[in-house]
Structure 1
């Protein structure tokens, strides 16, 4: 008589139960979009008093590079770029505010690291700035290179990748340097530090807004690290993660295709390009796949423009920062910025 294995069926109910729990867990966690729509506002985390990136203007309106990406998400999801609650977050609360569900997304100068994703249960859906750590010094200090930092007081903002980078460098180089935790504003208002280290964009913004004597300072020419900067969301909602990623990528693709806030209506009516039509909702099903309507990206571009428009509005020629695109130029213009095919 053949022997039948009667043990396998006993595991089927357990396996089915696990699959069922996983299914319902994914449904319950993928609720950010519906929560935002039901609420009628996007809770967007931004750093306060950071001119060029996120700050309240003299007219009482939030403005800045990161603010425009808050507006872009609101335009895509809520069909109005002004339906936003701006929630002020800082270095210590930018990730915990997501964990505590105080915010739906954080638009901040946060460096994407695998450790942060795992520790705080967050995701970096996209990169909207490619940056690197640098140093600003007083010209009178005669600091010209990293070697000249030996024995100096170096200021850095606490709870940042910048802090960890400089601490590791000092240790490996056996420098007799002292780390002091202050922000850029404090560096320019006191003489406690010989150098201040932060992302290079951070340094340029501080130089433009925190001192009236820019000629007394210089940013050292070397870049100390790679800092991919992006928005953050919780890691329990892949649909919301895709929406945030797609919003950023839509602005990048719009620049590549020559679509601006001024000409988007004309291009939408006349273009025969498949990617443009997929982007602007004339064809394809990207909007449906994201859980949005076909016009989501059209509204984004109409509200804030393409990536070049956003960058130049706050960092480009004629602004206090007045910096070049560098790595943040399109791949076709010598940078590394590109969006995946919208197909």
Structure 2
């Protein structure tokens, strides 16, 4: 192993250790001092929206900076070669880095017959450079798998699959670009090791990053396990992933006010309008993505004294700003008594109280 590879491996290892241990601790400590809630709840700081946006930008900049370093390592630090080089034998270099007196079949026989200590004593490292290269390929992608869910909400929503899938696609892209530009070798082992590094980073985020920044995770996990145990015998639990709220039905009176509010102010699309002559009702079906709001304007039935419509949004501060631009006063943030998250509440036509809850 040359001095450069050893120094680079140590540098990346120290960087990963600092990132895993120091980043969530410092993040939580700073947010506590600034009275910012990282768990989606209502913050005590009146400038919470601005500070949280600044935090998001700093984390995004840190991730982009690491991508620049990664690009330098895999492209710009290497000289272009004359030939296209491809190596597709899975884990061949890693296997050749070790030597055993009786081969790997004999090593497994020793492991199960004489124990792990005797088996480990028979392993000799004959090509440390290949071992260091495999280790380095793992470690350079650990920050990617760790920082993606830490920085972006989309990766946190499916943290068990999206970060490692992104690392697999990114590694595949890098290897193909190296082949096209001839800056390096198209090595199938690199895809395997990079994906493994992304998986390790993803698991470290779950085990360290999420745990440190969400101190109530133990209570939430216990409650979730109790619910799963009870819900296994219920009707809808086996179909939970294919079940969701599709449509909400409200009563209306003024057709012009209903269309103006839901279509022009909130941004729903008028999917259908039905005139039911037998009952004298007009039914409006508004749609936005997978959410449908059905408003029945009746001339015979009176509008209820109170109606409720609850929506969710991932960027509540931006939603609040857009509401004000469209002449809707949402007031100050409130705290949802059931989940502890922030919400906006405002009135619509026909005694409709609309709540927009901040989602993960």
Specify the TM-score bucket, using the shorter chain as the normaliser.
under 0.3
The alignment's TM-score, normalised by the length of structure 1, stands at 0.24
The alignment's TM-score, normalised by the length of structure 2, stands at 0.23
Answer 1 or 2: higher relative contact order, Cα 8 Å, separation at least 6. 1
